[in-house]
Amino acid sequence: MRRYGLPALAMVLITLDVALNGPLRRLDHIVHRFCDAHTQSPVADAVIIGQRADLLAVMVPLAVIAALRTRSWRPLVAATLIVVALSVLQLELKAVIPRTSPFSGRDVIFTYGDAYPSGHTLNGFLLIWVILELAVVAFPRAARAIPTRRRHIIALTTGAITAAAVTLDDQHWLTDALFSVALGPVLLNLLIAADPFQTRPAPSHRADAPDTSPDGSLHIRHPHRDPRRDGFLRAR
């Protein structure tokens, strides 16, 4: 759990800075003025990565195909639980410090608003990973193109892109995105460790590990035994 210490510290410091009107919050206003004056509309196209409705439009069909292929409810149930849990988590986090969005023209906290932290960014990390996992379950050959490690990297990349996009497009303050950039990889690692879709390659058996025959009998594999010698001994 030590590797989660730095992200946790970052989230605490960012939250304190926002609540106490620290230097990062003042940087928020500088970034907002720049983005408001110079950011062009095409930037908004990248924000779609974190739009939950658009992600669900891809996720639901994949979950259905995966469930039919595996003849199991696991893909549908796991995807549903992750989406629901992430939605609840976002609502709870946003309730700690209600904050208005930068496009409103006001930075008000503890009154109303749901800008802090960025839910789009968390979706970019986690829901993209869910889609990739479902794709592998639904279409097993996809695992060759997007193995476990690559799916992890893609999810980290889309999360970072979403964070940059929502900031440049003035949908979120910089600190909204930074908090989610600290939290997203932590949640992603926990999901990968849980392996809810059971896509992680099974550990290879040791050559001398016990094994079972089709009839249920137990036997031990001996990699260094010469089968010709066994046949010779049986013949004698």
Q: Is residue 77 part of a domain?
A: yes
Domains of the chain: total: 1
CA separation for the pair 71, 74 (Å, rounded): 9
207 inside domain: no
Domain hosting 143: range is 2-194
Which regions in the chain score pLDDT beneath 70? 1-2, 40-48, 201-236
Angstrom CA distances, 236 to 222, 224, 225, 226, 228, stand at: 21, 21, 17, 16, 13
* Residue 60 belongs to some domain of the structure: yes
In a domain, 79, yes or no: yes
221 within a domain of the structure (yes/no) = no
What's the rounded Cα separation, in Å, for the pair 108 and 97? Answer: 10
Would you list the DSSP string of 10-71? HHHHHHHHHHTT-HHHHHHHHHHHHHHHH--GGGHHHHGGG-HHHHHHHHHHHHHHHHHHHT
Does the residue 88 lie in any domain?
yes
Q: Please list, in sequence order, all residues whose beta carbon lies within 8 angstroms of the beta carbon of residue 58, skipping any fewer than 6 positions away.
A: 131
Phi-psi category of residue 113: left, alpha or beta, with phi > 0 → left and psi -120 to 50 → alpha = left
